[in-house]
Amino acid sequence: MRSKQTVILCLIPAILSVVGIAGGNFARGTLAEPARQITCTGKVIDAAGKPVAEAKVRLYKLTVNPEAFTYDMALAKELKTKGDGAFTLKTEASQDEMSGQTIILVEKEGLALGWANWVLRADLDIEIQLDRPQVMAGKVVDDAGRPIPDAEVSIAFMIATRQGQPRYLISAESLEPLNTRTDVEGRFSFNKIPTDATAEFTAGKTTRATVTTFDTENYQGQALQFSSGQTDIKITLPPEARIEGSIVEKATAKPAAGIRIMATKGHNQPNFGLKPVVSGTDGKFTIDSLADGTYTLRLVTPAAKEAAWIAEPVEVVAEAGKTKSGVKVELITGGLLEVVITDAATKEPVQQVRVSIRDQAGNEHFGAFSEENGVAKIRLVPGQYQLTGIYKVGYTRQSRQETVVIEDGKTTRLEQQLTGMPKISGVVRDEQGNPVQDAKMQVCPMSTTQDNMSDADGNFEVKWDPRGWPNEIPAMVLVARYEQGDLAGAVEVSEDTRTQDITLSQALTITGRTVDPSGKGIAGAQISAMLQGPRWGSPIGRSQPNTDREGRFEIKALPAEYGYTIYARAEGYGEYRSKQTNMDDAVNNRIDVGNLMLAVADLSVSGVVVNTEDKPVGGVQVYCYGDNQPNRNTQTDADGKFALNGVCAGKVRVSASKSAPTRLYGNIETEGGATDVKIIITERGSSSRYVPKQPPSLVGKPLPDLKDVNIDLTQSDLTGKILLVCFFDMQQRPSRNCLRQLNTKAQELEAQDVVVVAVQASKMDKASLNEWCKKYDVSFPIGMIQADEEKARFTWGVRSLPWLILTDKRHVVTAEGFALGELEDKTRQNK
């Protein structure tokens, strides 16, 4: 297995914005801005909210090789949690998105892996929960289905979502829990998977193709193909395909030595290729370990200096088990694009700005970082291109659609300006006028992701990003929270506000308790408070405490000027959203929202996704949501089948979408527990009518207790007898007709040792039912559903009315849902 495939990079949003422009040349400046020290303080807990001591905490820094589109994970720090589960990590901040990505990985024997993503631009305060460990397992086979022993298998990346926020974990050889080898039967297993994780894999072996399970074209950003607990994963490794060729200077046909080149697959996709190879003294190169398919050969240009050569991308069709030879890559000098970037306010050049370029067809993407003089340089093949964006941390992200023409042997220059993010500065004071240190500052709803803290003199500076509001920017709220003193303040600001002092006063505290349907407290539930502003809601703070062992929670230091909605969710349960509360509901500055009941998420929704020709569609993203339902994601298999596990009883909406080659989508509304859901995806989308949950069949199972439907027969009445149960509704004509016909057969059935009973399937006046039975001289016992009608019908497998159920003499169900005319044949088969 030559190297890990680098598609994983697209999953970390900041890296996606960097690597997403790759596909050809990628140059970057070499100067870094001065770093400052930042701190991550955290706590590790288990699923019940208890602290986890002696857990291993490792900080991995992601090192990206942008010109080769590969990455590595370097261990930067390692420590263990204290007795209270706490840990502290200190490192240097980075203003460079490439080097600012880290993963905090936590491991404890007997528990699942836990992790967090930390962009090294600000302090971080986090809580990492370690769940009960789950398994992901499967088999690696060849193209004939035979097992491949000793193959390398890696969890290329995983996504786990908590409180609506995805956490990304990418693999490297240094991350032992994410790497394994197959046994003699080709099997592999990973045993420390969180319950809420989905994943993709890479696998390979010498003389075999290195493959990945990830489908970039249909990735939607939340769920991956394989789910926690899945043990039927199959990865097929065909024989490797090879590409052999030579690199020459086009003008002279002279072989070019020492040129790095790599194979990438598809357009507009992160790289699926292996490590770059280098041409020899004769200009020749060989790329192996490739899977079947069409590849594009691209030069890998140096990052620290301007590229001397460029080449037209060369497409090659690689076939499994074969070598494609005679491929020629021709080098040209092309033209040079220089983009000059200055600060819109100071007019000074800005370094380390990322510049994104694409060709006119949108097939090839290029990028560069500006150097100290503010100039980003990209060597390009002559043609027409578009400048698509310029960005740097601390500045407003700007999209561009400016067209530029590159001519052979010429330099084309563009000038661009960057606008700094709007920022508000001021002083935080208490009601006595004293400055407050370590107050957390936030502009709702448009703060940057980092926490901003006031200094020893109460001074603060907080930035906000208007790019999420392309039209009218709403009224915003500047929030300050000092949790140690239970103080808070909020003041409305506008897009023109640049300075604003804020005074803190007694804060609001919201308490409550999460419980299951039986009223028992749910420990470790995740709680978040949403500040309700004018026409928007915004999370308050970066994190909130989980519930304790009794399910209780307390959120402190909330500005009393605004209302709040509390959200609760927990592993194995649905979600709950409280009604909006405000200061009018408070007693002594405290609001108790009471018990937040979370429904048990022990059902699933399964089915198939098809196209308009009723053919199954694989690789479709499927997700569900609904009131009090958890959000779940999965992907259809090759047969278009899917299963969304861990949903609650009640209505749930299921959506399906596929991005390529055209956008297809569809959705339905169904119920938790539904097993035969069919979603039709079309270009315009489809929305089916409500699909009710179908109860499970009783065939082959013991008949439920007749006492549950108010029928009391003795054991002597039933021993050695066949049972026929008829569910009906006296208020429906088909039911009445069925019951009258059944009554005419009662004596004949009794002679055949068949005991007949009937059940009124909906609540009604008992006297009216008795009167009707007396009128038609019904001779067999009749009961009535007394409690929850829907639940009772589901238990008995009733899908329509009337509904007949027949058992054998052991009272095991042999037939259900049949017509009365089939009764004789069904009864004969039971004898």
Which CATH number does the domain housing residue 456 bear?
2.60.40.1120
Please state the domain count of the chain: 7
Residues near 208 by beta carbon (within 8 Å), at least 6 away in sequence: 142, 148, 151, 237, 238, 239, 240, 289
Mean pLDDT of 229-236: 91
- Average pLDDT over every residue of 288-304: 82
Residues 138 and 125 reside in one and the same domain: no
Residue 715 has pLDDT above 60, yes or no: yes
Min mean pLDDT across 90-104, 284-298, 383-397, 626-640 is at 90-104
Does residue 263 fall inside a structural domain?
yes
**8 A C-beta contact, residue 282 and residue 362:** no
Domain match, 820 and 712 both? yes
Q: What is the pLDDT averaged over residues 444-458?
A: 79
Lowest-pLDDT choice from 38-42, 98-102, 457-461, 509-513: 98-102
At 27, is the pLDDT very low, low, confident or very high (cuts 50, 70, 90)? very low
Q: Is 483 helix (H, G, I), strand (E, B) or coil?
A: helix
- Domain assignment present for residue 11? The answer is no
Rg, Å, the chain Cα set: 33
Determine, yes or no, domain membership for 225.
yes
pLDDT given for residue 585 in this prediction: 85
Q: With 60 as the cut, is the pLDDT of residue 712 above it? A: yes
Q: Is residue 824 part of a domain?
A: yes
Chain-wide mean pLDDT for the chain?
Answer: 84
Confidence band for 610, pLDDT divided at 50, 70 and 90: very high
Q: Supply the DSSP string of 65-105, one letter for each residue.
A: ETTTTEEEEEEEEEEE--TTSEEEEEEE--S-TTT-EEEEE
Do 824 and 767 have their domain in common? Answer: yes
Residue 9 above 60 pLDDT? no
Where is the domain boundary, 111, 130, 149? 130
pTM listed for this prediction: 0.63
In a domain, 413, yes or no: no
Residue 18, pLDDT > 50, answer no
Is residue 566 in some structural domain? Answer: yes
Flag the least confident range among 29-33, 495-499, 617-621, 644-648. Answer: 29-33
Under the banding of pLDDT at 50, 70 and 90, the label for residue 269 is: very low
Category of 7 on φ-ψ map: left (φ > 0), alpha (ψ -120 to 50) or beta: alpha
pLDDT confidence of 628, banded at 50, 70, 90? confident
Both 268 and 193 in a single domain? Answer: no
* CA-to-CA dists, residue 35 to 28, 38, 91, 327, 475, angstroms: 19, 9, 10, 46, 34
Residues 6+ apart with CB under 8 A from 654: 605, 607, 622, 623, 624, 644, 667, 668, 669, 670, 677, 679
Mean pLDDT of 274-287: 90
Residue 144 lies in a domain: yes
Say if residue 255 is in the same domain as residue 315.
yes
CB atoms within 10 A of CB 520: 11
> Are residues 819 and 717 part of one domain?
yes
If asked whether residues 139 and 120 sit together in one domain, one would say no
Q: 725 and 805 share a domain?
A: yes
Residue 29's pLDDT is 41
Confidence band (pLDDT; 50, 70, 90) for 457? Answer: very high
Residue 308 confidence class, pLDDT cut points 50, 70, 90: confident
Could you say which of 505, 520, 545 is where a domain stops? 505
**Residue 97's pLDDT band (cuts 50, 70, 90):** low
Q: How confident is the model at residue 330 (pLDDT cuts 50, 70, 90)?
A: very high
Range of the domain at 251: 241-332
Residues 724 and 797 in one domain: yes
Calculate the alpha carbon distances from 707 to 138, 713, 769 in Å: 46, 8, 18
Residues 725 and 816 in one domain: yes
pLDDT for residue 454: 92
Among 309, 332, 355, the domain boundary falls at 332
Specify the CATH number for the domain of residue 775: 3.40.30.10
